[in-house]
Structure 1
Amino acid sequence: MPDEDLSERVARLERQVADLRARSADAGAARVLAAGADRDVAEVRAELRAHTGTLNALREDQVDLREEMRTGFASANASLGRIIELLDRDSQ
């Protein structure tokens, strides 16, 4: 009887060791996947920062262009107003 008990205990222990080895392998694979995901997230964040920088630069250019256009149109409007004044004066 003690031999049967011992063989059952050894068999149970061997199953537990095999289960622990499988879990260890799974944990190692999970660590590898997590490290890969971390690198992917870091790359995406870097790309997002680059795109955000590009969009901010584009916005600044558009704001500058809008101001230049307003100044240019105001100048053209003033010049046209002066021309109209001169034409009106000469036509009288």
Structure 2
Amino acid sequence: MADDELTQRVARLERLVAELSERSADGAAARVLAAGADRDVAEVRAELRAHTGALNALREDQIDLREEMRRGFATVNSSLGQIIQLLDRETGPDQPEH
């Protein structure tokens, strides 16, 4: 009887060791997957920072262009005002030309 009991206990221990080995392998696989996911997230974050930087640079360029256009239109409006004053001096306001 003692041999049967010992055999059963050894068999049970072997099953437990096999299960623990399987769980350990599953845990190792999960750690590998988690590490890969962590790298992927880091890459996505880096790309997002790069895209954000590009968009911010584009925004700054648009702001600069808007200001340049405003200055240009102000210059054109001023010049047109001077031209109108000169024409009014020569022909008089609201008089048709010959």
TM-score between both structures, scaled by the size of structure 1: 0.96
Q: What per-residue deviation string (whole Å, max 9, x for no partner) do you get for residues 4-38 of structure 1? A: 21111111101100000000100111111111111
Aligned to 2:73: 73
Aligned to 2:8: 8
Is 1:84 equivalent to 2:84 in the alignment? yes
Structure number with greater Rg is 2
Aligned to 1:18: 18
Identical pairs, percent = 76
CA distance in 2, matches of 1:80, 1:12: 100
Is 1:49 equivalent to 2:62 in the alignment? no
CA distance in 2, matches of 1:21, 1:33: 18
The runs of at least 4 aligned residues of structure 1 exceeding 6 Å deviation read none
Instruction: Let me know the Cα RMSD of the aligned residues.
Output: 0.7
TM-score between both structures, scaled by the size of structure 2: 0.90
Is 1:29 equivalent to 2:32 in the alignment? no
CA distance in 1, matches of 2:56, 2:80: 36
The one of the two structures with greater contact order (alpha-carbon pairs below 8 A, sep at least 6) is 2
- The one-letter amino acid of 2:37's match is A
Structure 1: gaps (5+ residues): none
Aligned length: 92
Structure 2: gaps (5+ residues): 93-98
